[in-house]
Structure 1
């Protein structure tokens, strides 16, 4: 799904540390979403077509993806802490490349999320079409 959110944006400069912190928040959200997959795969009924060794490899892959995502978030977070607020960058072009509307809005600073993009309290059967 493409969004026209950023296509109407006028180029403007924002503080680089602020932008990096929005990226950190998105990376933490990605790690959370990946973690939510793990219980469904480790469940006895899910992934029955996988052998024990294959299931273990999938679980290790999920764990590695979470660790790498969180590692990137911490890396960027640490770098952002050392950058003066006066360092400005124009994010309009970069935002046009982000295809997910919710992520584009969060990265633009126009939609600060509280919590995760897919909260656990969503009713079973709820889904988003894309």
Structure 2
């Protein structure tokens, strides 16, 4: 984070409120997708899975994960509201650390073009 922007500062710095807003939107989307997926899975599997303690715990964990992620989004919204408009941050290094292209494009630095990442570096997708 840096002090309010001056003309001689790095031009890659952007308002922290913009960065927080992008992260907040992404977290809200993740929470929504978890809720949607959990409901779809439960609709198909609840009749047979409800008797399995591990299944019920996994469904409860998914629900709690969605709630926690939505809570973090709300927390970031509050911080954004309390942030001074002149606060700026250069997120280029953080953007470079993201392994998923679409995530980098969604929350990463808006001052540089995001090129396609090596998605294999992010890990395998487990299909059951």
Quick check: TM above 0.5?
yes
Whether the 8 Å contact between 1:32 and 1:66 is mirrored in structure 2 is yes
Segments of 5+ residues of structure 1 without an aligned counterpart are 1-9, 111-129
Aligned length: 102
Which runs of at least 4 in structure 1 moved beyond 2 Å after TM superposition?
Answer: 43-55
- Once residues 48 and 97 of structure 1 are traced to their aligned partners in structure 2, the CA distance between those partners, rounded to angstroms, is 41
Whether the 8 Å contact between 1:11 and 1:91 is mirrored in structure 2 is no
- Identify the residue that residue 21 of structure 1 maps to in structure 2: 21
Bigger radius of gyration: 2
Whether the 8 Å contact between 2:19 and 2:107 is mirrored in structure 1 is yes
- Once residues 44 and 25 of structure 1 are traced to their aligned partners in structure 2, the CA distance between those partners, rounded to angstroms, is 29
TM-score by length of 1: 0.68
In the TM superposition, what is the alpha-carbon distance from 1:96 to its structure 2 partner?
0.3
1:93-130 per-residue CA deviation (whole Å, 9 max, x = no partner) reads: 000011111111111365xxxxxxxxxxxxxxxxxxx8
TM-score by length of 2: 0.69
Greater RCO (Cα-Cα under 8 Å, separation 6 or more): 1
In the TM superposition, what is the alpha-carbon distance from 1:47 to its structure 2 partner?
8.9
Q: CA RMSD in A?
A: 2.5
- Identify the residue that residue 89 of structure 1 maps to in structure 2: 89
- Identify the residue that residue 62 of structure 1 maps to in structure 2: 62
